[in-house]
């Protein structure tokens, strides 16, 4: 193993390091996906084994990577073949427009999907019989399929229809709406199907004839999934043709119904895999939806899994056995903002490979290309993090542009404030913007209510909800936001772009020139005529006790969000540190008017209490107790200092 900082030919490792491409299609051709950069997960294993038919995940979660890995892998090298269907917009338009008299939209679209599957299966059977079964192409059922393909202008070799998918689908649609050539199966459509009561019934009967011919060929060849792997038929990238309109939803529902039907029709001879984006699948509502739960598998990524993926890709890129120690403590800094680097990185991106790859590459390029360094520093990670956060905020609105076109107009509600937001605070902010939002998006007025907005922001991963002592984001918990839940957190991924980098928007305590005077030794003789050294010392001790009282109350507030408690503690500690810098008995010689000092600090305490109240945090018992203690200590300081600026209210000097 070479020195961790130097790679082949003396090139620094950071110059060879790369975490791959963000999209699986390019990652196959020029990236790391097939060079050890793919990490098998539960979804991949379920797809490979045939346990699940629906692989569901958010954009960038790795659906297409699984698809590409299956297409490129050798598990089906001696089996029934692999087919990947990725319809483009033109092909999608053909499916969306397809209708049959006598059938509802999703049932009609299920028929065209079934025809897609049947023709792909027929083509694969004919090719498979020639290539692997010797004289298998002479089997009657196989010959019938070959004739059917020829009679309907479906090429047994190459692309369906001998051309683009859209042209093939257009031809298929016309055939189902009128009549297919079924003479190869001994059926004369004009005679044998004449009694069909409707266009939809006639199309269904035609399709049953084709599917029966396909199933018979599988059976006669003995290709039932036991002698060799089945035909693998996959559909991916439906998001390219989905538009959240009823006909788009019917198109996806039709796909699900067709796959379910074809699975039972062809048995173990064909395995179907449908890769669907989670927001598309979750938007569907149809009577048979409950029948698909057993077929579903949702892709989920933990921080540990993302770390393993990052290490695998790092090793694949440098061509040598990097250790975790070398990656996370030598090439990357050991910690960022006091947190272990891997944990920091993966906590600040949505839990999916695409985001992790983008953030890691951004850190790498900031250090190596921009700053010309051979190791990534904490400053590089923080610099890259700001850019990454801006990307992700923009990407989030683009990802949900179809389903929630108003999403980016909600982001200003969270700009330049704390990342902990209560329901009450959000209600006040939303009330100001609600009329404008509803005017701009009249078709979405039902969603543009406070509960609706919270549900959307939680579902897309922008907001997490406080539950117990933790914060839960969508994907980690299937439970939606409950009406009684009042505290929400902006995901760390988006905080830098929004300027929401602290838990609450608390005014920072600024020391009252005490430190400078102590350092400079600005001791002098000054008599305000209002205070005495003993009284000054007593007032300062009271101020220190007030700080300790507030800090103690904060420490006991176990129900308060730790980040909020830390922010309050930080500011009160700054006050205490400022007080402790004043040497005993030296307030007068440092030209510090102690009465004025206490009144200004009391004013700061009151401002903190107001911020906590207006921020809605006083709704929680822990924060309410802290607010009460801060207000109480502010009143005590005002009484001790005389109640107003310029008057001590205490002539005794005691």
Q: Are 67 and 24 in contact (CB under 8 A)?
A: yes
- Calculate ∠ Cα 336-468-392, nearest 5°: 45
362/49 Cα distance (integer angstroms): 36
Which residues are CB-contacts of 598 (< 8 A; sequence separation ≥ 6)? Answer: 539, 542, 543, 637, 638, 640, 641
Which has more confidence, 310 or 77? Answer: 310
3-state secondary structure of 312: helix
Give the lowest-confidence range in 348-352, 428-432, 592-596.
592-596
Residue 528's pLDDT band, with cuts at 50, 70 and 90, is very low
pLDDT of 24 above 80: no
Handedness of CA 145, 146, 152, 153 (dihedral sign): positive
3-state secondary structure of 83: strand
Q: Say what the pLDDT of residue 248 is.
A: 87
Mean pLDDT for the stretch of residues 51-65: 90
Q: Say what the pLDDT of residue 34 is.
A: 62
Give the lowest-confidence range in 55-69, 195-209, 388-402.
195-209
Q: Say what the pLDDT of residue 200 is.
A: 85
Q: Are 93 and 240 in contact (CB under 8 A)?
A: no
Q: Say what the pLDDT of residue 620 is.
A: 65
Count of positions (residues) in the chain: 654
Which has more confidence, 650 or 411? Answer: 411
Mean pLDDT for the stretch of residues 544-567: 90
pLDDT of 561 above 90: no
pLDDT of 1 above 70: no
Handedness of CA 399, 403, 408, 414 (dihedral sign): negative
pLDDT of 355 above 60: yes
Question: Crossing angle for the helix pair 105-132 and 199-221, nearest 10 degrees?
Answer: 20
Question: Crossing angle for the helix pair 199-221 and 140-151, nearest 10 degrees?
Answer: 140
Give the lowest-confidence range in 35-39, 126-130, 301-305, 430-434.
35-39
Residue 72's pLDDT band, with cuts at 50, 70 and 90, is confident
Q: What is the DSSP annotation of 435-471? A: HHHHHH-GGGTTT-SHHHHHHHHHHTTSEEEEETTEE
Residue 572's pLDDT band, with cuts at 50, 70 and 90, is very high
Residue 535's pLDDT band, with cuts at 50, 70 and 90, is confident
pLDDT of 524 above 70: no
97/104 Cα distance (integer angstroms): 13
* Helices and strands in the chain, H and E counts: 25, 11
Q: Are 522 and 590 in contact (CB under 8 A)?
A: yes
Strand ranges (DSSP E) for 314-415? 335-336, 339-340
**Separation in Å, CA 29 to CA 26, 69, 316, 557:** 5, 12, 15, 55
Q: Are 41 and 302 in contact (CB under 8 A)?
A: no
CB neighbours of residue 451 within 10 Å: 11
pLDDT of 352 above 80: yes
324/288 Cα distance (integer angstroms): 47
3-state secondary structure of 29: helix
- Calculate ∠ Cα 580-584-587, nearest 5°: 85
651/277 Cα distance (integer angstroms): 75
Question: Three-state SS across 623-640?
Answer: HHHHHHHHHHHHHHHHHH
Give the chain's end-to-end CA distance (angstroms, integer).
75
139/141 Cα distance (integer angstroms): 6
Q: Say what the pLDDT of residue 198 is.
A: 80
Q: What is the CA radius of gyration of the chain?
A: 34
pLDDT of 272 above 80: yes
Mean pLDDT for the stretch of residues 63-74: 83
Which has more confidence, 9 or 511? Answer: 511
428/181 Cα distance (integer angstroms): 66
35/262 Cα distance (integer angstroms): 35
Domain positions in the chain = 8-20+302-350+365-375, 42-298, 407-498, 514-641
pLDDT of 133 above 70: no
152/181 Cα distance (integer angstroms): 6
Mean pLDDT for the stretch of residues 434-450: 95
Residue 223's pLDDT band, with cuts at 50, 70 and 90, is confident
Q: What is the pLDDT of residues 606-633, one digit of tens each?
A: 999 988 887 777 666 678 889 999 999 9
Mean pLDDT of the chain: 83
81/243 Cα distance (integer angstroms): 32
- Calculate ∠ Cα 349-343-31, nearest 5°: 60
399/325 Cα distance (integer angstroms): 35
Q: Are 12 and 374 in contact (CB under 8 A)?
A: yes
Q: Say what the pLDDT of residue 634 is.
A: 93
- Calculate ∠ Cα 349-565-351, nearest 5°: 15
Nearest to 258 by CA among 44, 48, 53, 92: 53
Residue 468's pLDDT band, with cuts at 50, 70 and 90, is confident
Report the share of the chain in percent with pLDDT over 90: 41
Mean pLDDT for the stretch of residues 353-365: 95
Give the lowest-confidence range in 16-25, 127-136, 231-240, 443-452.
127-136
Which has more confidence, 270 or 179? Answer: 270
Residue 438's pLDDT band, with cuts at 50, 70 and 90, is very high
Residue 364's pLDDT band, with cuts at 50, 70 and 90, is very high
Residue 589's pLDDT band, with cuts at 50, 70 and 90, is low
312/151 Cα distance (integer angstroms): 50
pLDDT of 170 above 90: no
Residue 516's pLDDT band, with cuts at 50, 70 and 90, is very low
Handedness of CA 469, 474, 479, 481 (dihedral sign): positive
Q: What is the pLDDT of residues 315-341, one digit of tens each?
A: 888 877 889 999 999 999 999 999 999
Mean pLDDT for the stretch of residues 236-247: 85
CA 637 vs. chain centroid, Å, equals: 48
Q: Are 417 and 500 in contact (CB under 8 A)?
A: yes
3-state secondary structure of 336: strand
Mean pLDDT for the stretch of residues 101-107: 86
Mean pLDDT for the stretch of residues 166-179: 76
The burial of 121, by beta-carbon neighbours within 10 Å (0-12 exposed, 13-18 middle, 19 or more buried), is given as buried
Give the lowest-confidence range in 104-113, 132-141, 517-526.
517-526
pLDDT of 345 above 90: yes
Q: Are 362 and 384 in contact (CB under 8 A)?
A: yes
- Calculate ∠ Cα 390-395-401, nearest 5°: 135
Nearest to 528 by CA among 595, 455, 586: 595
Question: Crossing angle for the helix pair 378-399 and 353-365, nearest 10 degrees?
Answer: 140
């Amino acid at each position: 193993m070479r020195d961790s900082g130097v790679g082949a030919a003396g090139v620094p490792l950071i110059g060879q390091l790369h975490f791959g491409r963000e999209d699986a299609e390019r990652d196959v051709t020029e990236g790391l996906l097939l060079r050890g950069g793919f990490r098998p997960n539960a979804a991949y294993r379920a797809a490979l084994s045939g346990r699940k038919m629906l692989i569901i995940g958010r954009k960038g979660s790795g659906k297409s990577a699984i698809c590409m890995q299956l297409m490129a892998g050798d598990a089906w090298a001696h089996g029934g073949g692999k087919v990947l269907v990725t319809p483009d917009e033109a092909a999608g338009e053909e499916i969306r427009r397809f209708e049959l008299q006598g059938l509802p939209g999703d049932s009609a679209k299920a028929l065209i999907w079934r025809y897609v599957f049947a023709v792909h299966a027929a083509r694969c059977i004919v090719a498979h019989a020639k290539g692997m079964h010797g004289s298998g192409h002479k089997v009657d059922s196989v010959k019938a399929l070959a004739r059917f393909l020829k009679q309907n202008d479906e090429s047994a070799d190459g692309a369906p229809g001998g051309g683009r998918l859209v042209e093939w689908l257009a031809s298929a649609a016309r055939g189902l709406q009128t009549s297919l050539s079924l003479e190869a199966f001994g059926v004369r459509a004009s005679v044998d199907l004449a009694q069909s009561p409707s266009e939809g019934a006639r199309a269904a009967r035609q399709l049953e004839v084709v599917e029966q011919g396909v199933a018979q060929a599988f059976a006669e060849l003995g290709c039932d999934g036991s002698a060799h792997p089945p035909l693998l038929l996959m559909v991916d990238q439906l998001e390219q043709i989905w538009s959240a309109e009823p006909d788009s939803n019917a198109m996806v529902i039709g796909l699900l119904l067709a796959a379910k039907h074809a699975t039972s029709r062809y048995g173990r001879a064909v395995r179907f895999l449908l890769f669907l984006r989670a927001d598309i699948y979750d938007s569907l509502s149809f009577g048979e939806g409950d029948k698909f739960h057993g077929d579903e598998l949702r892709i989920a990524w933990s921080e540990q899994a993302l770390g393993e993926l990052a290490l695998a890709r790092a090793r694949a890129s440098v061509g040598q056995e990097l250790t975790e120690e070398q990656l996370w403590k030598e090439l990357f800094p050991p910690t960022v903002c006091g947190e272990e680097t891997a944990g920091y990185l993966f906590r600040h991106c949505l839990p999916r490979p695409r985001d992790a790859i983008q953030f890691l590459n951004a850190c790498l390029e900031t250090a190596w290309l921009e700053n010309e360094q051979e190791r990534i520093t904490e400053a590089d990670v923080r610099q890259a993090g700001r850019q990454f956060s801006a990307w992700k905020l923009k990407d989030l609105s683009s990802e949900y542009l179809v389903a929630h076109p108003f999403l980016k107009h909600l982001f200003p509600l969270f700009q330049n404030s704390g990342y902990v937001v209560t329901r009450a605070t959000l209600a006040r902010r939303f009330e100001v913007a609600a009329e404008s939002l509803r005017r701009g998006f009249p078709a979405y007025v039902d969603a543009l209510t406070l509960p609706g907005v919270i549900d959307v922001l939680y579902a897309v991963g922008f907001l997490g909800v406080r539950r117990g002592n933790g914060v839960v984001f969508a994907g980690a918990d299937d439970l939606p936001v409950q009406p009684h839940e009042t505290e929400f957190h902006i995901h760390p991924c988006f905080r830098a772009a929004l300027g929401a980098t602290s838990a609450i928007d608390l005014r920072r305590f600024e020391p009252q020139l005490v430190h400078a005077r102590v350092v400079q030794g600005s001791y002098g003789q000054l008599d305000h005529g209002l205070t005495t050294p003993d009284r000054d010392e007593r007032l300062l001790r009271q101020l220190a006790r007030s700080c300790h009282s507030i800090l103690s109350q904060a420490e006991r507030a176990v129900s308060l969000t730790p980040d909020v408690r830390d922010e309050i503690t930080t500011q009160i500690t700054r006050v205490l540190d400022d007080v402790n810098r004043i040497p005993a008995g030296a307030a007068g010689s440092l030209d510090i008017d102690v009465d004025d000092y206490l009144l200004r600090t009391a004013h700061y305490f009151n401002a903190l209490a107001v911020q906590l109240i207006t921020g809605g945090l006083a709704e929680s018992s822990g924060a309410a107790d802290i607010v009460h203690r801060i207000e109480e200590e502010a009143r005590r300081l005002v009484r001790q200092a005389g109640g107003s600026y310029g008057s001590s209210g205490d002539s005794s000097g005691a």
